[in-house]
A = this chain, B = another copy of it.
Amino acid sequence: MKDTIKNIVEYNDNKLSKSFAFFIQFLIVLSVITFSVETLPNLKPQTKAILNSIEVFCVVVFTAEYLARIYVAGNKPKFIFSFFGLIDLFAILPFYLSFGLDLRSLRVLRMFRLFRLLKLVRYNRAMRHFAKAMLLAKEQIILFMGVTLVLIYFAAIGIYYFENEAQPEHFSSIFDSLWWSIVTLTTVGYGDVYPITVGGRIFTFFILLIGLGIVAIPTGIISSSLTKVVEPDAEEE
């Protein structure tokens, strides 16, 4: 009996386990969509009832799956406190915690439901590659994230001195300038804040010329690291 469950839940080499994995993936996507639809304003009571039924069904299945995983695990505490074990728990916990309580006040707790989405990680061999690549380049990424943060801070201080007097409502402090700094150096450029003084524009000119190269470095590190990890695997198959 335990072996049968183990076959279904843990491995991916037989038909039954593949169907099971597919079913769970479908439920994850379904519950993600349900969660999104629930946020729509002016929903009808019937729609809410249907969404709630789907939610209950998903949680019941996820709970059963979670208990099955604990049951078949060799080292039970190790599984429970593993990354995926905790995600499995957090994916169902918010539902039980809100039972019998005022749902409105616990609204923030629902954010934990996002963890359900992370379950997708388990079923995707490819995503393990991503995790591996991130681990390989971890040091470098932290390093250049640091350089990027220093640059963003410098840009914020600079623009604060140039624009504070001309636009006190948009650049009231360095914290406000940081918002401009991140939006500009990532080239998002919403257009809600931008320099209007000649000095501020010349400063932006140089910060963009120097800064874009630096901000792009973490991207390059992640890309090259991913290529290294993915490459050998592609040959195996």
Task: Determine if A222 and B226 form an interchain contact, defined as CB atoms under 8 angstroms apart.
Answer: no
Does A182 interact with chain B (Cβ within 8 Å)? yes
Q: Are B111 and A126 in contact (CB under 8 A)?
A: no
Interface majority SS (helix, strand, loop, mixed), chain A: helix
Known contacts A41-B172, A124-B146, A220-B224; 10 additional CB pairs below 8 A are A32-B153, A36-B173, A39-B160, A182-B209, A183-B194, A186-B212, A187-B188, A188-B188, A189-B190, A220-B227
Cβ of A219 under 8 Å from chain B: yes
Residues of B near A157 (CB, < 8 A) are 35, 111, 114
Pair B230/A223 contact, Cβ less than 8 Å: no
Given A36-B175, A190-B194, also A223-B227 (CB < 8 A): no
Chain A contributes a number of interface residues (CB within 8 A of B) equal to: 73
Q: Which residues of A contact B (CB under 8 A)?
A: 32, 35-36, 39-41, 108, 111, 114, 117, 120, 124, 126-127, 129-130, 139-141, 143-150, 153-154, 157, 160-161, 164, 168, 172-175, 178-179, 182-184, 186-192, 194, 201, 204-205, 208-209, 212-224, 226-227, 230, 234
